[in-house]
Amino acid sequence: MRKPLISGNWKMNHNHFEAIQTVQKLAYLVGKDELELADVSIHPPFTDIRSVQTVIDSDKLGYALGAQHCHFEDKGAFTGEVSPVFLAKLGVQYVICGHSERRELFGETDEMVNKKVAAIQQHGMTPIFCVGETLDEREAGHTESKVLGQVRAGLAGRSPQQVGSLVIAYEPIWAIGTGRTATSDDAQQVCAAIRVCVADLAGAQAAESVRVQYGGSVKSSNIAELIAQPDIDGALVGGASLDADEFARICKLGA
C-alpha cells in the first residue's frame, strides 16, 4: 500500500518568522500518530528554508522539508535561480517541478521540466512532478492528451526505478486558487490514466510504486473523499496549507 503524501505549497507567502510560527503550531496539531499514516512535506519560500529546517531538526519533527522549484544546472551564471546542490545541502527531501504557475508565468517548457526531474533525482531528492490541463483544454475534451503528454515528456530518459520513486501531482490548472475542485471521480479517472501511462513507460512495478497526488483547491472538506480514491496517493495543497489549523485537518483526514 502506498503511503499518502500531503504537501503544503506556501508559494510566495510567509516570511521566515511566519514560517517558524506556522511549523511550530502545526507540530502541536499533527503528531507522530498521524505521521505514521501519512508523510507530510512543507514547501516554504527559499528565504524560509533554512529557518524551517532548523525547527524541524531541533524539535525532531516528522515533517519532510520541501522546496518549490530549482534550476537544472548545479551552478553557473543564472541570476536569481537556486541550484539543486544548495537544496540538497539544506536537507530538502522533495522539490516541486513543473508547477502550472512556473509553466504559465515563467515559461517553463516540458524539456526544462524533464531536466529538473533528472537534476532533483541526481542529488538524492524526490521530484513532485506536476501536470495538468487548462479549462479550455478540459472543455475541449483534451484533458488526458495534455496530461499524459506532459507525463511522457517529463519522464523521458528516466529508468523504471527512478520513475517509481518520484511523485506525480495532477493539478488541473482551472482548479488552482479558484475554489473549484475536480470531483473525486474525475480526479480518480485522470490519476488512474497517469498510472497506466507510467506502466506503459516504465513497467508495472514503477506504476504500482509511484505516488500520484491531486492538487487544486484542496481543503479539509474534500480531502477525505479525494484520498479514498484508489489512485490518489495524497494532495498538493496550496492556499489551505498556509493556515496551520486547516492544514492540520487536511493532514489528519488525508492520513
Residue 99 annotated to the active site: yes
Q: Please, what is the Cα angle at 239 between 238 and 244, to 5 degrees?
A: 100
SS (H, E, C) the chain: CCCCEEEEECCCCCCHHHHHHHHHHHHHHCCHHHHHHCEEEEECCHHHHHHHHHHHHHCCCCCEEEECCCCCCCCCCCCCCCCHHHHHHCCCCEEEECCHHHHHHHCCCHHHHHHHHHHHHHCCCEEEEEECCCHHHHHCCCHHHHHHHHHHHHHCCCCHHHHHCCEEEECCHHHCCCCCCCCHHHHHHHHHHHHHHHHHHHCHHHHHHCEEEEECCCCCCCHHHHHCCCCCCEEEECHHHHCHHHHHHHHHHHC
Distance CA 104, CA 100 (A): 6
Catalytic residue among 34, 71, 99, 101: 99
The catalytically annotated residue of 101, 108, 137, 171 is: 171
Q: Is 171 a catalytic residue?
A: yes
Q: How far is CA 68 from the centre of its chain?
A: 9
Q: Kindly list the catalytic residues.
A: 99, 171
